[in-house]
């Protein structure tokens, strides 16, 4: 798979395995459980006023959507390992940058994919930048202390200094 492909989802082996386990559980356990709840609710009679039936059907729809999402993500996944150098920016690392050398104006984010976070609550509290984004592609492979200039979508050059790199832990 081309490393510059915008459809690529960068995952660590740990994240890939976690998503694979979730998919396996949904397919082999979740589907059966929901089907049993639907069947039990159907046996209660009138489906128009059966809240349990409608709730189980809604859950089934959400679960099937998640299964399709996981299958798509895993199909597009590029699995990479953490770099040997702990100060090197790679997919799956949490990066802190300072804008224009001003260490009081920093931003910390996960370089990777929001999907890596799965259904964790951390998904709402963590900023995520794709390795294919202008900033992500500019800092990928750089090291702590490196200064990088990239072009923002509006065409303006932005200079950042990498002030911290660490493996992401959700």
Q: Cα(21)–Cα(34) distance, rounded to whole angstroms?
A: 18
Topology of domain 9-80 in CATH is: Helix Hairpins (1.10.287)
Q: Give the pLDDT of residue 4.
A: 43
Domain 93-167 falls under CATH 3.10.50.30: yes
Q: Give the pLDDT of residue 49.
A: 76
Print the SS3 string covering the chain. Answer: CCCCCCCCEEEEHHHHHHHHHHHHHHHHHHHHHHHHHHHHHHCCCCCCCCHHHHHHHHHHHHHHHHHHHHHHHHHHEEEECCCCCCCECCCCEEEEEEECCEEEEEEEEEECCHHHHCCCHHHHCCCEECCCCHHHHHHCCCECCCEEEEECCCCCEEEEEEEEEEECCC
Q: Give the pLDDT of residue 77.
A: 83
Domain extent listing, the chain: 9-80, 93-167
pLDDT in tens, 94-107: 899 999 867 788 99
Mean pLDDT, the chain cut into blocks of 10 residues (170 residues total):
56 83 96 93 79 89 94 84 74 88 83 62 70 90 93 92 82
pTM for this structure? 0.60
Q: Give the pLDDT of residue 146.
A: 94
């Amino acid at each position: 798979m081309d490393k510059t492909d915008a459809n690529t989802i960068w995952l660590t082996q740990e994240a890939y395995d976690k998503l694979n386990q979730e998919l396996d559980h949904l397919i082999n356990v979740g589907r059966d459980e929901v089907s049993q709840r639907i069947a039990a609710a159907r046996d209660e009679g009138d489906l128009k006023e059966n809240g349990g039936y409608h709730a189980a059907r809604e859950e089934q729809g959400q679960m099937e959507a998640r299964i399709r999402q996981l299958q798509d993500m895993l199909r597009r996944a590029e699995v990479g390992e953490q770099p040997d150098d702990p100060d090197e920016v790679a997919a799956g690392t949490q990066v802190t940058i300072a804008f224009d050398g001003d260490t009081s104006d920093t931003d910390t984010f996960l370089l990777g994919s929001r999907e890596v976070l799965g259904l964790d609550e951390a998904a709402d509290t963590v900023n995520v930048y794709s390795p294919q984004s202008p900033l992500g592609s500019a800092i990928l492979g750089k090291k702590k202390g490196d200064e990088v200039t990239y072009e923002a979508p509006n065409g303006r050059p932005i200079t950042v200094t990498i002030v911290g790199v660490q493996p992401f832990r959700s």
